[in-house]
Chain A
Amino acid sequence: DGGITQSPKYLFRKEGQNVTLSCEQNLNHDAMYWYRQDPGQGLRLIYYSQIVNDFQKGDIAEGYSVSREKKESFPLTVTSAQKNPTAFYLCASSKGWESAFMNTEDFFGQGTRLTVV
Chain B
Amino acid sequence: SQQGEEDPQALSIQEGENATMNCSYKTSINNLQWYRQNSGRGLVHLILIRSNEREKHSGRLRVTLDTSKKSSSLLITASRAADTASYFCATVPYNTDKLIFGTGTRLQVFP
Give the residue name and chain of the B residue nearest to A113 (CB): B40
Interface size on B, residues (CB 8 A): 27
A101 to B25 CA separation, bound complex (whole angstroms): 17
Give the residue name and chain of the B residue nearest to A56 (CB): B98
Specify which chain B residues have a CB less than 8 angstroms from the CB of A110 in the assembled complex: 41-42
Specify which chain A residues have a CB less than 8 angstroms from the CB of B103 in the assembled complex: 41-42
Answer yes or no: A76 CB below 8 A from chain B CBs.
no
Answer yes or no: A31 CB below 8 A from chain B CBs.
yes
Q: Pick from B48, B50, B100: contact of A45, CB below 8 A.
A: B100
Interface of B is mostly: strand
Specify which chain B residues have a CB less than 8 angstroms from the CB of A59 in the assembled complex: 1
A71 to chain B, nearest CB (A): 16
Contact between chains at A102 and B43 (CB < 8 Å): no
Which of A13-21, A62-70, A86-94 is the interface stretch?
Answer: A86-94
A24 to B33 CA separation, bound complex (whole angstroms): 23
A-facing mask of B1-17, CB < 8 A → 1, else 0?
11010000000000000
A88 to B31 CA separation, bound complex (whole angstroms): 25
Contact between chains at B101 and A94 (CB < 8 Å): no
8 new A-B contacts at CB < 8 Å, known A100-B99, A101-B92, A111-B41: A35-B101, A41-B103, A41-B104, A97-B97, A100-B97, A102-B31, A106-B99, A109-B42
Contact between chains at A90 and B88 (CB < 8 Å): no
A41 to B103 CA separation, bound complex (whole angstroms): 5
A45 to B96 CA separation, bound complex (whole angstroms): 13
Answer yes or no: A25 CB below 8 A from chain B CBs.
no
Q: A41-B103, A108-B42 are in contact. Are A48 and B2 (CB under 8 A)?
A: no
Specify which chain A residues have a CB less than 8 angstroms from the CB of B106 in the assembled complex: 40
A46 to chain B, nearest CB (A): 11
Q: Which positions 37-59 of chain B face chain A at CB distance < 8 Å?
A: 40-43, 45, 48, 50
Q: Pick from A31, A100, A111: contact of B42, CB below 8 A.
A: A111
